[in-house]
A and B are shown apart, each in its own frame.
Chain A
Amino acid sequence: DAKTTQPPSMDCAEGRAANLPCNHSTISGNEYVYWYRQIHSQGPQYIIHGLKNNETNEMASLIITEDRKSSTLILPHATLRDTAVYYCIVRVPGPNYGGSQGNLIFGKGTKLSVKP
């Protein structure tokens, strides 16, 4: 599984769009981009995933560059409850997170602080 690079922290004003970048320059052709978030002291929560097309769901939008070397998670109208650590992960889709790749899955992420 490819590694990702995310800024350690970001701030966003409440009601504005939060744009969280992720670099994954070594992504392979069959690897997807996944985003999770972890609100303080809670278990991580799945947000969205994509391969190469832009994706949108009720929580967020995912924009993947044409060369697939980077992506941006967009929270269109950030609220205080969106304050969390956001993890960008690239991996071949499927249920197996084990083996030698398990330790590559969840890095330190980006701590997003939404401010009033």
Chain B
Amino acid sequence: GAVVSQHPSRVICKSGTSVKIECRSLDFQATTMFWYRQFPKQSLMLMATSNEGSKATYEQGVEKDKFLINHASLTLSTLTVTSAHPEDSSFYICSAGDARYNEQFFGPGTRLTVL
């Protein structure tokens, strides 16, 4: 199958700082990538759809100015959590589809802790 990497795997930051998370498709090109958020023992909630070369599409209730998404190339999407607060602490996971396969491929996730 296809491989999606995500970096960093874990980050701890102070309240008010910004954190950037990278999602890369390693062996395929991804016109579209997806960002999910997951709280402990809960489901994955789609935050936004990242489109290469255009603006991201955010799900209802997700603050665009808070969660900045940039998809500047066919293999890289970034999620920046701006002015992070403790309530932003969560597990963030990206995914992408490869037209050769039915399934979505997920990155290993980023665990964000805001102090």
Specify whether A and B are partners. no
Q: Which residues of A contact B (CB under 8 A)?
A: none
